[in-house]
């Protein structure tokens, strides 16, 4: 039975609680990028390579041949090694990607590409392997997977190999792409239907690969990005490209690629220009208005590129304590779980988890429920903080939320490069409460705050679902905003109903996902809830009455639950909510 309270008193109580929460949120700031977690599971030198993240797991590649390590980061202060994929023939897997629980690992030990089911981290399962028998490379240095298509670069030839991996058990060779570089292709990146190659002689090619399964991709542009071009990354709107060179004093160059046939270099960023003592840049990412780079012997380096002609250093965290001596220190960075848990890999030091929220440029957007930077989904309710965001303090007066209040608006440019106006709850000079627009694609998003023509930009990391539970004490970690589903009363709750059956509470949250927010749906079967770390039944998970962006979970108490205070958390698609409390009589 689906219980969904709908009477007027219930809706009134809910809205009163939420309005109080919205207008009481306060922003906090930190002084530096800080370490919050570290794991170094193996002895020796040069053990680790690239890093990837998905949900509550980090995937750490290896340089020395120790396979791929699977690390539980649900508690980022205490990462735990919970799985290890290391085939009998050895696994020097330098590049790793994981998409929906399927891992793609590039082997530099004559193994091609391993496609592995990592949904059970304790028992990774090899699904298929791409080797020379499937027309792939024997050694694969870098790979990229997008839209069900895998691209290989061997760092030995000028060819890119393309495979259809929509069925990961049966990869199918599609074609070779002959690039324009004269030495070899080191890496490839595919974002929003464009493939970017990085060539060692200094050529970057841009291809339109939207129809690569059926036709050879057109070359949109080819330009000189500098010798030893290592890897690149575009902005969401496809107008800016960051290209890193891996060499002594290797820099990161920013290019205007609005016209891919005629790119224009805007700036060059070296360690010396930033006042850092470091060897070379390695892997760059553009995240909203930030450039985030893993940098040998400088750790992670974060810059404000709101003006790409004048990048500005915001901070760095160095994973390497030694002297400058070549290719040592930070290899990889994965910033797409949120700035409050950025993943770093160090060749010798292993996995580092850092909080980089202090290095955020422009207005900050957080979940309005958990106050987390990494718990934001399409249609979720968020709060933005900054200065001069609006000229007046105004609230929406209708249930159909406006996209402009007093000349103030917010728009979101998602990972697909699409820009949408956000529905607004409330605006003031220092705070705007808004809803992430429907249709926003998961990934990094650029947030534009427009106050009567005065523009400020910030960023957010959007997930498919990222549940945040509201709390009554405005802390994001205290008593849950919840009601008895039968009596419509707050805590403390009865353990049982009047008939002796386990009681049910309605818990209010946001970020359940676009398919269950502001639409009639019940996705309870996909939601995992725990009380004191033990699974409990969710009978309903969907929209809540009376408020845009608000979700409701009906949670059944376990039989025999004891009086007292208990911990509650919920999760979906591998992303777990903030931990809140519930009191039982």
- The tens digit of pLDDT for each residue in 520-557 reads 999 999 999 999 999 999 999 999 988 899 999 999 99
Per-residue pLDDT band at 15 (split at 50, 70, 90): very low
Q: Give mean pLDDT, residues 41-64.
A: 90
Cα(100)–Cα(574) distance, integer angstroms = 9
Per-residue pLDDT band at 7 (split at 50, 70, 90): very low
Query: In this model, does residue 6 exceed pLDDT 50?
Result: no
Tokens encoding 326: 């070549």
- The tens digit of pLDDT for each residue in 333-379 reads 999 999 999 999 999 999 999 999 988 888 999 999 999 888 899 99
Domain boundaries, the chain: 8-21+466-584, 34-269, 362-462
CB 61 within 8 A of CB 93: yes
Query: In this model, does residue 331 exceed pLDDT 70?
Result: yes
Give me the pLDDT at residue 513, please.
96
Instruction: Domain 34-269: give its CATH architecture.
Output: 7 Propeller (2.130)
- The tens digit of pLDDT for each residue in 113-158 reads 999 999 999 999 999 999 999 999 999 999 999 999 999 999 999 9
Per-residue pLDDT band at 65 (split at 50, 70, 90): confident
Give me the pLDDT at residue 441, please.
95
Of the ranges 46-50, 263-267, 368-372, 414-418, which one carries the lowest mean pLDDT score?
46-50
Cα(185)–Cα(141) distance, integer angstroms = 10
Per-residue pLDDT band at 26 (split at 50, 70, 90): very low
- How much is the CA Rg of the chain, to the nearest whole Å? 24
Cα(458)–Cα(265) distance, integer angstroms = 24
Give me the pLDDT at residue 82, please.
97
Cα(4)–Cα(15) distance, integer angstroms = 16
Give me the pLDDT at residue 45, please.
74
Mean pLDDT of the chain: 92
Bond before 492 cis per omega within 30 degrees:
yes
| pTM listed for this prediction | 0.89
Query: In this model, does residue 232 exceed pLDDT 60?
Result: yes
**% the chain with pLDDT above 90:** 84
Tokens encoding 79: 């990462």
Per-residue pLDDT band at 18 (split at 50, 70, 90): low
Which class is domain 362-462? mainly beta
Reported as type and span, the H/E element at residue 206 is: strand 203-208
Query: In this model, does residue 324 exceed pLDDT 80?
Result: no
- The tens digit of pLDDT for each residue in 94-115 reads 999 999 999 999 999 889 999 9
Cα(458)–Cα(139) distance, integer angstroms = 40
Higher pLDDT, 421 or 2: 421
Alpha-carbon separation of residue 134 from 137, 138, 161, 167 (angstroms)? 9, 10, 11, 15
CA-CA-CA-CA torsion for 333, 335, 339, 345, nearest 10 degrees?
Answer: -20
Per-residue pLDDT band at 220 (split at 50, 70, 90): very high
Per-residue pLDDT band at 14 (split at 50, 70, 90): very low
């Amino acid at each position: 039975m689906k219980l969904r309270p709908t009477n007027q008193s219930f809706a009134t109580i809910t809205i009163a609680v939420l309005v109080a929460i919205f207008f009481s949120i306060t922003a906090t700031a930190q002084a530096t990028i800080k370490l919050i977690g570290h794991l170094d599971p193996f002895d020796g030198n040069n053990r680790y390579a690239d890093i990837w993240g998905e949900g509550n797991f980090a995937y750490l590649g290896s340089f020395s041949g120790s396979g791929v390590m699977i690390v539980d980061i649900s508690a980022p202060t205490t990462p735990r090694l919970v799985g290890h994929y290391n085939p009998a023939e050895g696994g020097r897997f330098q590049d790793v990607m994981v998409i929906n629980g399927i891992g793609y690992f590039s082997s530099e030990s004559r193994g091609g590409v391993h496609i592995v089911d990592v949904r059970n981290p304790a028992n990774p399962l090899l699904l298929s392997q791409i080797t020379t028998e499937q027309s792939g490379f024997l050694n694969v240095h870098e790979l990229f997977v997008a839209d069900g298509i895998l691209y290989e670069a061997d760092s030995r030839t000028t060819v890119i190999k393309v495979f259809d991996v929509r069925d990961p058990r049966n990869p199918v060779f599609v074609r070779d792409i002959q690039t324009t570089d004269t030495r070899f292709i080191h890496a490839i990146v595919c974002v929003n239907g464009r493939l970017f190659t990085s060539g060692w002689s200094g050529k970057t090619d841009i291809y339109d690969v939207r129809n690569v399964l059926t036709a050879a991709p057109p070359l949109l542009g080819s330009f000189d990005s500098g010798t030893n071009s290592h890897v690149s990354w575009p902005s969401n709107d496809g107008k800016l490209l960051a290209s890193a060179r891996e060499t002594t004093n290797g820099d990161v160059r920013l290019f205007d690629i609005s016209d891919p046939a005629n790119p224009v270099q805007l700036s060059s960023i070296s360690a010396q220009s930033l006042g850092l003592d470091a060897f070379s840049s390695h892997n760059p990412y553009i995240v909203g208005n930030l450039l985030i780079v893993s940098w040998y012997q400088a750790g992670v380096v974060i810059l404000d590129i709101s003006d790409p002609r004048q990048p500005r250093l915001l901070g760095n965290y160095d994973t390497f304590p030694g002297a400058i001596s070549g290719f040592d220190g930070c290899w990889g960075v994965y910033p797409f779980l949120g700035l409050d848990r950025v993943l770093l890999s160090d060749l010798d030091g292993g996995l580092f988890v850092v909080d980089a929220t202090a290095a955020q440029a422009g207005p900050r957007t957080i979940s309005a429920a958990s106050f987390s930077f990494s718990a934001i989904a399409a249609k979720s309710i968020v709060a933005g903080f900054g200065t001069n965001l609006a000229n007046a303090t105004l609230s929406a007066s209708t249930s159909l939320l406006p996209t402009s209040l007093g000349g103030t608006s917010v728009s979101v440019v998602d990972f697909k490069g699409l820009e949408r106006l956000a529905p607004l709850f409330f605006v003031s000079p220092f705070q705007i409460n808004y809803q992430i627009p429907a249709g926003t694609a998961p990934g990094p998003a650029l947030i534009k705050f427009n106050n009567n023509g005065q523009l400020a930009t910030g960023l957010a990391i959007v997930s498919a679902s990222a549940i945040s539970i509201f709390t009554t004490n405005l802390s994001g970690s205290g008593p849950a905003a919840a009601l008895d589903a039968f009596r419509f009363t707050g805590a403390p709750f009865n353990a049982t109903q009047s008939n002796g059956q386990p009681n049910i509470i309605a818990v209010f949250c946001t970020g359940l996902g676009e398919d269950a927010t502001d639409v009639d749906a019940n996705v309870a079967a996909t939601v995992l809830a725990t009380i004191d770390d033990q699974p409990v039944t969710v009978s309903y998970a969907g929209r809540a009455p009376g408020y845009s962006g608000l979700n409701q979970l009906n949670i059944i108490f376990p039989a025999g639950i004891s009086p007292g205070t208990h911990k509650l958390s919920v999760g979906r698609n591998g992303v777990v909510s903030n931990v809140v409390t519930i009191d039982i009589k």
